[in-house]
Amino acid sequence: MVGKGRYRLAVPRLPCLIFYKVDVADEAVQIVTIRHAAHREEH
């Protein structure tokens, strides 16, 4: 878990990170953002 209910998934073979949230009530996954893995997180 990354924080605030967000999760991070690394994409195999691609330099991408997918940040997502899970909505249990709606049984859905919401993609928050897709980033290149070399970019630093904003603070």
Residue 4: per-residue pLDDT: 75
pTM check: above 0.85:
no
Q: Are 27 and 40 in contact (CB under 8 A)?
A: no
Residue 3: per-residue pLDDT: 76
Residue carrying structure tokens 């709606």: 26
Along the 43 residues of the chain, how does pLDDT read in single tens digits? 777 789 999 988 989 999 999 998 999 999 999 998 887 766 5
Task: Please list the alpha-helical segments (H only) found in 1-43.
Answer: none
Residue 5: per-residue pLDDT: 83
Q: Where are the domains of the chain?
A: 6-36
